[in-house]
Amino acid sequence: MMTFAVLGGFLLNVGAFLTYKGKIYQAVIVYLFADICWIVMAYERDDYIGSFFIITGTTFGFLTYLKMQRGEMNKSLNKEKNDL
C-alpha cells in the first residue's frame, strides 16, 4: 500500500541520489515534494505540531532554493586553502 510516508521516503531517496550526482537544484525540488507528503501525513494523523514544524522547514527549504537559483549563495563545496 502506497502511503504518504512511503512516497515521502521514496522521494527522499531520489533526492539523496540526485545530490550524490551533483544535481542540487533538482534534489531540492524533490526534497520539497517529499516534505509535502509528510505534511499531509502529519495532518491526517492530527499531528498539528509536527505539521507546523514540517511546514516551517519546507518554507526555509523553498527560500533556500530561490536564493540558490538567483545565485545569491556565497558558499562553495570546494575548500579554499584559506579555509583550512
- Backbone dihedral region of 22: left (phi > 0), alpha (psi from -120 to 50 degrees) or beta? left
**DSSP class of 47:** -
Are 65 and 28 in contact, with CB atoms under 8 Å apart? yes
Is the separation of the CB atoms in 12 and 31 below 8 Å? yes
The tens place of each residue's pLDDT in the chain, 84 residues long, gives 778 888 888 999 999 999 899 888 888 889 889 988 888 888 888 988 988 888 898 888 888 878 877 877 666 656 666 655
DSSP assignments along 2-23, one per residue? --HHHHHHHHHHHHHHHHHTT-
pTM to 2 decimal places: 0.69
The confidence score (pLDDT) of residue 10 equals 92
